[in-house]
Structure 1
Amino acid sequence: MEVTNMKIARFSSCRGVAFEINPNRSNPFAIGTGASPSEDHQHTAGMPVWLPWNRTSSFKVIPWLNPISPSGSPPSSHFCDIDIAGYDIEQDFIAEFESKDIEKGEKANAVLKRNSRLSIILLDQGLFTVYKRLFMVCLTLNMIALAISVAGHFPYAKRKASLFSIGNILALTLCRSEAVLRIVFWLAVKLLGRPWINLQIKTATTSFLQSLGGIHSGCGMSSIAWLVYALILTLNDKDNTTPEIIAFAFTILLLIFLSSIAAFPLVRHIHHNVFERTHRFTGWIALIFLWFFVILSLTYKPLSKTYDLKFSRLAKQQEFWFTLAITVLIIIPWLTVRKVPVSVLSTSGHASIIKFKGGVHPGLLGRISPSPLSEWHAFGIISDGKKEHMMLAGAVGDFTKSLISKPPSHLWVRKVHFAGLPYLVNMYQRAVLVATGSGICVFLSFLLQPCQADVCLIWVAKEIELNYGKEIKELVSKHPREKVIVHDTAIGGRPNVAKMSADAAIRWNAEAVVVTSNPEGSRDIIRECKRAGIPAFGPIWDS
């Protein structure tokens, strides 16, 4: 295939990192023959390949895994630093949309659309992912209960329709409460992170915990359905309610509906800042109106058409306690927000390193913000668990670029760090960690401090010392050399990362593979590992 015929789409993820997708290949790393990891290893056993830090010194020697093509492309500023040699992305896109006619431009847009992050995650990951199954189970159970209530066989639900709506809001809030999830992830690691626990239980738990967004979205849709049902029942019995109660209920419905529309994948993908602010502020306003609705509806006396505003009356009702729980869960993270001093080191125009005081356990992530009410950005945390921790921020958005052009002296942080997929590495005894580009930051803590898992790291990036600095290079080099595979694409070309990961997992006898890459790269690595019989996990939409 001619290099000049390739088109590479650039997108930004909701985590503030960018990546590139090659629409002319089903697998952006597929350079080899397509053989299985074991077959490929048989063909190439005993042939060493040097994976150097720079052009004069080498870091690690491993068996040759797959043919790789040289790359002389300029330094990349993307999360997955896999480049096409001699291909200028910026100039090509300018030429594409300035010099070609409308018909060709429309075809280019169609290619971008088909190969966008959205289509990869929602379509290529399949219709029966754990996330989608949790969504369907949650929504189906609610719809069955609603249908039984409408049919007259569930009088409690008919009498307490608003409670079912509030209950779903409580459930979706629990699924997104960083304080609650920190406890849940900690318990999962403590209870299941033992050698004698069955591996299938561990992998099933990992799949479930990283897919809780399915319950969150399923409960969101269900809460709307129950609130519509409650409104219909209220309108049919207007004599026993007031216009104020109806108005509050209708306003809450509109706000939740608006929040759900903003969270729809297409809107969230294209207008992420709009999604984040709409989701946050409509949620807060809806909670305020929910308190008015609950207080008025629970204290209204139809016979006297008055309100009995006594706490004893409210305290007897489940709606009150559910609403109180929702409020507490939403407030907790904001109680930990602080403005703290930071030190920002710009390693290059590619990335910056942000340093904070205090050590952090491996696998945790943190949120930072220049303005806490408008935007928050999540990053993996690098720490030796002692006096400080830091974040590696790729310069791909307005905020991350400003860290380089105008390094701040202070940033807003949430003092309680949250647990995500990387934290679950602690559940396993042996694991392979695969990172591309600045995705290395979520795994470095496992190399710098003692942890339960014995890990092997694969890092594929470009111009490592130039783009990420000597400090990151030295942190990686502290790990035992036999447990680290580093590939610099500027020197060694583009490897078949999927086969490299599966082969390393086989050699390492890993219980699981955890990857941080772009959606297409993560998908291919996970598929290749699963074909080799190795459980593999990577970030998913809304994880």
Structure 2
Amino acid sequence: MASHQVNDAERGIADIIHSRSPTASASPWALPSLPVKASDYLAKPKAPARPTRRANLWISWQLWFNTYRKFYTFVVSMNITGLILAATSTWKYPRDYTGAFILGNLLIAILMRNELFGRLLYLIITTLFAKWPPLWFRLGCTSVLQHLGGIHSGCATSGFMWLIFRVILIFIDHKDNHDVVLIMGVITNLAVAVSILSAFPWVRNTYHNVFERHHRFVGWLGLLCTWAFVVLGDSYDVTTHSWKPDGIHIIRQQQFWFAFGMTVFIIIPWLTVREVRVDVEIPSPKVVVLRFERGMQQGLLARISRASIMEYHAFGIISEGVHSKEHFLICGVQGDFTRELVQNPPTTVWTRQLKFAGVSNTSTLYKRGIRICTGTGLGAALSTCIQVSLLWYLIWIGSDQEKTFGPTISGLIHKHLGPGRSILWDSKERGGRPDVMKLIKEAYISWDAEVVFITSNRSGNKEMMEGCKAASIPAFGTLWDF
């Protein structure tokens, strides 16, 4: 099935970013500054200890049972209801056209992860509903777009359940079905099962390359097996026990068109794969900055690879706008891929020209907002604060950032963001991390913000999301697909 790794691009895994002294003069075009006290944010030998916060059970439940899980629960529940009705022969249609339920679910699962469909959906929402509808509606739009993965996972799980049901029916009526159809059904089940299991969060987050190879290549095998299963099933006449390969009959079946749609939506992103030039800047052993030609709109994610069809890794795109001559990716040196960028810097990489839209793309829906990130999470946040008018405020927490990230990234910060629109906290200089919720609350109130977007590691994301929920501050954080 279609792979999806964009969440990696919205995580601040390494706390290593630039800090600018708040004593610097404000930019002449900056909007009114926050009422920041010098005693709060000037460099200190030692940062105050952060208070320990524990969310109550109700807040934890609300964050756990988010829109992703609501989508997943709804989709799977509806399909389980249909399966029960079909298994008890209460509803005859699914027993006669089980293939349509299998492939219909898998088609929607693939569609939810298709770059073209995602970009189109984001474009429609951000064009039609920018700023004017009630805040609750715009927050709902962002939540739906961010959690489309719940529909993806729910439909993939449901399609697999219908596939098992279909094979069971064939086993029950094995005297009326050809062995080839039965064998192909079992193989298809195994391929889809491996593809789904490889996408479990523990596998995807711990063994990324295993996830990529199995979810993609076994998923493609599952697609081929699905085609064979559909064609063979439609070509075998169970009443006469003979093969009737009638092409006209096959293309008139709805499952044929579902399989055709699956194939098209899987192929489309791969038609945009190109080998492009890249300049590599290595300001420190912890960070690699990649520069590509042409500008990009904010809120997009790029997936790059050393090979055309092997492992792709997602990173947030930093750009000054669509008319800029270049855009940048910040890569924290964490795994094999990013370490290889340091040890053997490439002159070209493979990428999909059709970029994926991330949750930051919905920032244009809001009048004013806060963008808080830690470490390399800046890659998913900076373009929003640069491009979306002057209405987004940046809080960036890192360590020894000027030295670690070098002149390219710090230059963009100095050029576009003054202290009137940013708090940049160097935890090394200040002796530790700040009271993050104090920063968020002060910025949210003083900036008259409508929403907070968070890009951080797992513990940081949990702390900030729980704090914002307790303070009734609308916030969207990093996702780890469930």
Normalised-by-shorter TM-score class = 0.7 to 0.9
* 1:426 matched to 2:364: yes
Separation in 1, partners of 2:10, 2:437: 24
TM-score by length of 2: 0.87
2:20 corresponds, among 31, 50, 53, to 53
Aligned in 2, Cα 1:518/1:125: closer, same or farther, shift over 3 Å? farther
> Which of the numbers 436, 444, 455 marks the counterpart of 1:516?
455
Give, in angstroms, the shift of residue 346 of structure 1. 0.8
Given that residues 353 and 390 in structure 1 are in contact (C-alpha distance below 8 angstroms), is that contact kept between their aligned partners in structure 2?
Answer: yes
| Amino acid in structure 1 at the alignment position of 2:474 | P
Deviates more, 1:307-316 or 1:60-69: 60-69
Question: 1:343-389: per-residue Cα shift (whole Å, max 9, x none)?
Answer: 11111112111111111101111110012332111011111222111
Q: Post-superposition shift, 1:71?
A: 6.8
1:243-262 correspondence to structure 2 within 5 Å: 243-262=179-198
Deviation at 1:448, TM superposition (A): 3.5
1:185 aligns with 2:122: yes
Taking only aligned residues, the RMSD between alpha carbons, in angstroms, comes to 2.7
- Residues 1:371 and 2:307 are matched in the alignment: yes
**Do 1:65 and 1:499's aligned partners in 2 also have CA atoms closer than 8 Å?**
no
Q: Give per-residue Cα distances to partners, 1:82-130, cap 9 Å, x unaligned.
A: 999xxxxxxxxxxxxxxxxxxxxxxxxxxxxxxxxxxxxxx88754222
Distance 2:73 2:283 in 1: 45
Q: How many residues align?
A: 453
CA shift in 2, pair 1:17/1:211, >3 Å: closer
**Structure 1 residues 248 and 140, CA gap change in structure 2 (3 angstroms):** same
Q: 1:392 aligns with which of 324, 330, 343?
A: 330
Deviation at 1:447, TM superposition (A): 3.8
Residue equivalent to 1:63: 37
8 A Cα contact 2:369 2:391, kept in partner:
yes
Structure 1 equivalent of residue 172 of structure 2? 236
Cα deviation for residue 64 of structure 1 reads 5.7
Secondary structure of residue in 1 paired with 2:266: helix
Q: Once the two structures are superposed, what CA deviation does each residue of 1:253-303 show, in whole Å capped at 9, x if it has no partner?
A: 111112222222333333222122111111100100111111111122234
2:439 is matched with which residue?
Answer: 500
Q: What code does the residue aligned with 1:511 have? A: E
Deviation of the 1:234 alpha carbon: 1.4
1:246 deviates by 0.8
Partner of 2:296: 360
Q: Could you tell me how far apart the structure 2 residues matched to 1:145 and 1:181 are? A: 28
Measure the CA separation in 2 of the matches of 1:130 and 1:65: 40
2-side partners of 1:66 and 1:448: how far apart?
A: 25
Give 1:382's aligned residue. Answer: 318
Distance change (3 Å), C-alpha of 1:68 and 1:20: farther
Quick one: which amino acid aligns to residue 404 of structure 2?
N
Amino acid aligned to 2:392: V
**Equivalence map 1:470-489=2 (5 Å):** 470-481=407-418, 482-489=420-427
Higher relative contact order, structure no. (Cα contacts within 8 Å, ≥ 6 residues apart): 2
Question: 2:10 touches 2:455 (CA, 8 Å); kept in 1?
Answer: no
The residue that corresponds to 2:259 in the other structure is 323
Letter in 2 for 1:413: T
- Which residue pairs with 1:76 in the alignment? none
* Other structure's SS at 1:459 match: strand
Matches within 5 A, 1:285-324: 285-324=221-260
Partner residue, 1:437: 375
Runs of 5+ consecutive residues of structure 1 not aligned to the other structure: 1-12, 22-50, 73-81, 85-122
- Contact 2:13/2:376 (CA < 8 Å) preserved in 1? no
1:227 and 2:201 aligned: no
Letter in 2 for 1:343: D
Deviation string for 1:319-347 (max 9, x for gaps)?
00000000000011110111111111111
Paired with 2:64 and 2:327, the residues of 1 have a C-alpha distance of: 39
Contact kept? 1:299, 1:309, Cα under 8 Å:
yes
Offset, 1:65: 8.4
Q: Which amino acid aligns with 2:194?
A: L
> Residues 305 and 504 of structure 1: is their aligned pair in 2 closer, same or farther, counting only changes over 3 Å?
same
Letter in 2 for 1:187: I
Asked if the contact 2:316–2:330 (Cα under 8 Å) also holds between the matched residues in 1, the reply is yes
- Whether the 8 Å CA contact 1:70–1:490 is kept in 2: the answer is no
Percent identity, aligned pairs only, is: 35
Cα distance in 2 between the residues matched to 1:247 and 1:270: 33
Q: Which amino acid aligns with 1:510?
A: A
